[in-house]
Every structure is written in C-alpha cells, then in structure tokens.
Structure 1
Amino acid sequence: MLKLVRRHGSPYWYLRGTVRGISVDESTKIAIRERRLAEEYKTTREKDLLEESIHGKRVTALFSQAALSYIENGGCKSYRLADILAHFGTTKLSKIGAEEIHAGAKTLFPGMQPASRRTHYYTPMSAILSHAVALDWCNKVTFEWPATNDGVIRWLTKEEAHRFIDQGRHIKPLLMFLFYTGARIGEAMGLQLQDLDLKRRHVQFIDTKNGTDRGVPLHPLVVDALYEMLSARRLNGGDVFRRVDGAEYPKDTRPSDRIKTVFKRAGKRAGIEKFRIHDTRHTWATWHYQKNRDLGALQRLGGWKTLDMVMRYAHTNVDELSDTIDRL
C-alpha cells in the first residue's frame, strides 16, 4: 500500500508504494502541515488505484494526468492551462462529457468572445482529450465549438498591405512573409533556418496545425526581404524570425503574442484598423484566388483540410460578376 513521505526540500507530502502492482512516487501537492488532509488524499488515491488495477485506467484517469501526459509527450506548451486545470484537474475523464465541457467554458470565460474562447479553451481541451483517447484513457467526446463570427473576411489590397509592411519596422520581413505565403503565425514563428531554401525559392512547413507537412514556393519579394535580413544577422540555425535584438522569442508564449504590440502599432501608423494577424492569411488567399481562380491549388498551398474551408474566398471575390448585375 501507499505511505506518506517527506522529500528533502519539498514543502509537500509525497506518496510512495505500490497498489496491486502499480508503483507510485508522486507529490500530493498538500503542505506538510496538512497531515490529516494528506491522509485523506492517500486513502482516496489507494481506492482509485485499486479500482484501476481491476477495471483499467479508463475508470480512474484524471484530467490533470491527461494534461500532464499531453505536455510531456510534445503537446503545445503555450496553452494557458492554469484555469482549466483548476476547474477540471481532479475530475475523472470518464465524467467529462459535452455538457461538462460547455459548462466549464461558461464558468471560466463568461464574457470572452467566441473566437477567443475557441483559442483559449476549446482548442486545449480538445487537444488534451484527444491525447487521452489515443492512450485509451477515455472514450471520444464529441462537442460543438462556438461559432467564430468569421463570416466577414478582412483582407487588404496590395497597396494597403505594402503600406502596412513598410510600417512594420523590425518585423517587416515577417510581414512580407505572412502576406505572400499565407503562413499561419505559428508556422512562421516556428520556422527553422534549415526549412528555408532561398536559392530554390521554397519554404517547408513541418508538422503544421493539421498535422501534416507542406511546401510553399516563395514570391521574389519575400526572397529579397529574407536575403537582406539573413545577411545582416548571419544566422547558423534556429528560428528564422527573431526579436529586434536578434535573440529568439521565448517558446512559452503564444506565437501571436510575440508580435502583437508591434503589429498593432504598424497598423495604426499605416492607418489600417481592426486588422488581425490572421487576416494576413485571409489577404494572401484572397489575392491568390483573384489571380488564379483555382481553389484546389489554394487548398494545397494553404494547407486547408477540405475544399469547403476554401470556398469562402470564392464567395467573397465576386467582382468579376459585376457586369451580370449591370445587365439587370
């Protein structure tokens, strides 16, 4: 069975021992002064482990265990999990369904906009639960995500985009890259030097949001901007896009957060308001469709999973149909 032990330097009680062959050496996160509470925790943990030994992990696995396993196995470390863990941490995965997930969203982020709630709540919840399903710790939970109100696509003309880029200061090369490749901000900020081939005018995005790799040809303007930036910095490897002092951005922050201030200021100086970082991708897709009218090529280059996700750019770009209206 288990016993409470002290570990040198730790303010918490630890559990050590075995229950029906299951070894345990873990922190209770309960302070040394709370011996009675730690004893109660030990009793509960022994009961759960006994149940697990009989019925398997599906019955006893906690959300906090799934979250820890997700992070330890390469999951996204930039998710803000503190509030979610505080709410679901000690809840068994078997007790978390669609109703509990939606209730958690309302409790934790009652006033948050749908798009932000998707980013900060539904995306990490989905990632952690999918990881738990892959481990066979729980059944798949199907739930609807809130709408993002993305019906209106915000995009810039070439003149507006270059006005924006010109005001980007040290992120000018990054802005040129975003506008002319359609890269997601996470793909751009995570781009490594070895995945960039300026001689071939080609960039490779590894392990993208959709879980696949994809290559994109580089526009001459992007090649020129990157040649100029890299010749000044003389990088030997690592991240392509960096801070103004040449150091890499911290990896524990969201990619969009790393440049949001300078991005917003560039828009203000350019006289362009309410333009989001992700709108650079909308802009690229709009330009591509206007010039090529090829949704299949746009889907492959942009890395969208389905053609339906690309159709909105065809629905937005109807200028070529203006003469049909004039004939009414």
Structure 2
Amino acid sequence: MPIYKRGKKYWIDVSAPNGERIRRSTGTEDKLKAQEYHDKVKHELWQQERLDKQPERFFEEIVILALRDAEYQACFNNKQIYARYFLSIFKGRKISSITSEEIANSLPTHKGKTKSKLSNATQNRYRAFIMRAFSLAYKMGWISKNHHVTRLSEPKVRVRWIERDQARLLINNLSITWMKGFASLALLTGARKGEIFSLTWRNVDINRRIAVITAENAKSGKARAVPLNDEAISILRSLPKEGEFVFSSNGKCRKQISRTDFDRALKKSGINDFRFHDLRHTWASWHVQNGTPLMVLKEMGGWETLEMVNKYAHLSGEHLAKYSGFVTFLTQEEKSISQKQHLTLLTG
C-alpha cells in the first residue's frame, strides 16, 4: 500500500528503482497532501536513477561534514559552538536553497545575552566554519557551485615582545614557584599556554632533549616535537613529579595560570600592555633576531602557514643587508679608496 495511516499521520511506502524500500511519514493528516508528497518522492527517485541527479541535501548534513573535518583539532569545542549557532538559523533547509547573501547576513554581530559586539576576527571564525561546510559539500558534489562571502577586515596583527633583561625581571618577580617554571618554559620553547598545561611527563624526553606536543593538544591538530635547550631541561628537572602532567595540582592537570601573580609581576617589572601569550611572541621575536629562518620557526612553533610567521620578519634586517651594496654610484676602485679614507678617519 503506497499510502497508509499510522496514528493520525499518513505514511508512504515506495520502492526506489534500485529496489530500496522507503517508508516515511508525510507529516500531514490530509490524504490529498500525502498523495502529493508520495508523487514528489517517486519523481525524485526516478530523477536520481534515470538522470543521475543528486538527492537534495539538508543543512544538518553539511554541519556533520564540517564537524568531522574538525574533530581532532584543538579548537573543536569552538567549532561545536559555531555549528549550534548556524543550526539555529538554517536547520531543515535544503543546502541548494541557501544563498551567499543569506550566509553573509547570518554572521553573528553580538554575543548572547550580554549583547556585547563581536569583533571582526570572531565573526570571521564563524564565517570560516560555515564556508568550510559548504566547501566540503561542493567537493562531495552535493552542490553545483561554491559560495563566496567576503572576509571582514581585521586590525593589523599585534606583535608585542620584551627584551631579555625584561623577561628575566618578569620571571624573578613571579612569586609562585610553578608560575616561574611555567612562564620560563613558555619563553624558552614558544609553546602555547594550553600546550604546556597538557604536557605529560610521558611526552618529555630529557635524553633526546625534546617535548612532544600531541596532535589532540596542538592548535593545528598536528603533533610536533619541541626542542629543549639547557635552561628548559634544567627547569623540567627542578619540577616535582606529582602526577601525570608536568604542571599538576593534587595529581590533576592545571587549567589556568595565576593571573593575579602574572599581573603583579608585570606591574613590579614596569612592563605594560603585555599578555601571557606575548611570551610566545617574545620567543619568536628573539629567534628571528638571532637569524632563525622563518620556515624553521614555522615548524618549531607549530604554525600552519608561513603567512602566520611573516609578522615577525620585520624584526631582522640581516637577510637584506648583503644586498645593500648592489646599487651604488662608485666603481670597485672608488669603493676601495673610500674604505681606506674611512679607515683613516676612524684611526686618526
């Protein structure tokens, strides 16, 4: 029986051209509307079989694609927040019916109950999630063309770093012992706060002089080995082994730094406009100033793209210095005379 009643609603029972049997509710108590739904399903099944037409996909399906794609990323919890937000807007919609304009207009502008305005950077993260979902749908052949939503402009990347004497003063002014070790490792390895908190003794190899940031704890979702210098090894050896994690509290992983101790140390050291994450910027800045190639720094710091590391390039002009003499008015002979004259002036 192609149409039958179950409870108050009508259901359909149809056979697809490939032999698959489909039973589902029409969602209506009106037999005429149920018949129309039955005919529509039969027609779509015929198109899929005879015309090789893709079945209609719903927004929930591409959200699943995007979440599976981000499953092992450190920011997965944020991706779930983005997913819930967009489901509240597009749930139940066929993806072919959603336009680029709708996506652009759906980006959140304010945060929850507080109604505080979201920054362009935060809106761009929401944008990146939904655009990734539609991009995956396009690659799967679920839609015939991809969407375009312009990325919002963001302020220039902030790079705040401190000199070595300031860093030593900051560490010395921290009053909590474990905070001294934690901040020191951030400066010496460039590891992110969350990566250091999640570091276990099992993943620290003193003999090989490396600490392994596992994939599930790395922001990029990719494991990497962090080299340890003499100072970092000395700090690790001085830490008590009270549990599985390098920085434990009563045998459990610590979750947060002491902001009170950090802020107090900053004030005592006379350092302004400085966040804990700026210790990572400081580590990267010191490397660039000492001549570490940007590609090497990218691997050491666990950045996904070279573009993310280029913000430190301006801190060292040494790679450009060798080209400074390529354009000149002087001949080689005149250059030699000029150098001798300059030497005479310096030596008297």
Under a length normalisation based on structure 1, what TM-score does the superposition of the two structures give? 0.65
Report the equivalent of 1:122.
Answer: 127
1:284 counterpart = 2:283? yes
Q: Aligned match of 2:162 in 156, 160, 166?
A: 156
Per-residue displacement from partner, 1:93-127 (whole Å, max 9, x unpaired)? 334454333222245658211223334x2343345
- Report deviation, 1:71: 3.7
Question: Does the aligned pair in 1 maintain the 2:100–2:148 contact within 8 Å?
Answer: yes
What displacement does 1:285 show? 0.8
Alignment of 1:90-109 (within 5 A): 90-96=92-98, 98-106=100-108
Report the secondary structure of 1:78's partner residue.
Answer: helix
Q: Displacement of 1:288 after TM fit?
A: 0.7
Amino acid at match of 2:226: V
Residue 217 of structure 1 corresponds to 227
Change (3 A) 1:167 1:158: farther
How far residue 217 of structure 1 moved from its aligned partner, in angstroms, is 0.8
Which residue type is aligned with residue 160 of structure 2? R
Aligned to 2:314: 315
Q: Note the alpha carbon deviations across 1:295-323, whole angstroms, 9 max, x for none.
A: 232233223454443332121456999xx
* 8 A Cα contact 1:210 1:303, kept in partner: yes
1:300 alignment partner in structure 2? 299
Cα offset, 1:219, TM superposition:
2.7
Matches within 5 A, 1:15-164: 20=16, 21=20, 51=44, 54-55=47-48, 60-71=56-67, 74=71, 76=73, 77-79=76-78, 80-81=81-82, 82-96=84-98, 98-106=100-108, 111-119=117-125, 121-133=126-138, 135-138=140-143, 140-164=146-170
Residue 93 to residue 24, structure 1, CA distance change in 2 (3 Å): farther
* Residue 213 (structure 2) pairs with residue 196 (structure 1): no
* Unaligned 5+ runs, structure 2: 325-348
Superposition RMSD on alpha carbons, in Å?
Answer: 4.7
Listed one character per residue, the Cα deviations across residues 15-42 of structure 1 (whole Å, up to 9, x for unaligned) are: 998874387899xxxxxxx998xxx9xx
* Counterparts of 1:90 and 1:24, CA distance in 2: 19
Structure 1 306/18 Cα, relative in aligned 2: closer, same or farther at 3 Å?
Answer: same
Distance 1:293 1:141, change over 3 A: same
Q: Distance in 1 between matches of 2:247 and 2:152?
A: 32
Amino acid at match of 1:148: E
How much identity, in percent, do the aligned residues show? 25
Question: What is the CA-CA distance between 1:220 and the residue it aligns to?
Answer: 2.7
Q: Which residue of 1 aligns with 2:241?
A: 232
Decide whether the 8 Å contact of 1:98 with 1:141 is kept in 2.
Answer: yes
Match of 2:190 in 1: 182
Larger radius of gyration: 2
> Who is 2:328 aligned against?
none
What residue identity is the alignment partner of 2:119? Answer: Q
How far residue 178 of structure 1 moved from its aligned partner, in angstroms, is: 2.6
Q: Contact 2:242–2:250 (CA<8 Å) still a contact in 1?
A: no
Deviates more, 1:185-194 or 1:60-69: 185-194
Q: Give the 3-state SS of the residue equivalent to 2:155 in structure 1.
A: coil
Corresponding residue pairs, total: 288
Distance (whole Å) between structure 2 residues aligned to residue 289 and residue 126 of structure 1 = 34
Does the Cα contact within 8 Å between 1:155 and 1:280 map onto a contact in 2?
Answer: yes
In the aligned structure 1, how far is the partner of 2:24 from the partner of 2:118? 39
Do the aligned residues in 2 keep the contact of 1:2 with 1:19 (CA within 8 Å)?
A: no
- Give the 3-state SS of the residue equivalent to 1:86 in structure 2: helix
Q: Distance in 1 between matches of 2:4 and 2:228?
A: 61
Structure 1 residues not aligned, in runs of 5+ = 7-12, 27-33, 250-257
What CA distance in whole angstroms lies between the structure 2 residues aligned with 1:99 and 1:266? 48
CA 1:211–1:245: 2 relative to 1, 3 Å: closer
Counterpart secondary structure, 2:225: strand
TM-score (ref. length: structure 2): 0.62
Aligned residue for 1:265, secondary structure, equals helix
Task: Return closer, same or farther for 1:311/1:170 CA change in 2, 3 Å cut-off.
Answer: same
* Residue identity opposite 2:127 in structure 1: Y
Q: Residue 22 of structure 1 contacts residue 53 of structure 1 at CA under 8 Å; is this kept in 2?
A: no
Report the Cα distance in structure 1 between the residues aligned to 2:175 and 2:38, rounded to whole angstroms: 58
- 2:263 pairs, out of 259, 268, 273, with 268
Structure 2 residue matching 1:203: 3-state secondary structure: strand
- Give 3-state SS (helix, strand or coil) of 1:268's partner: helix
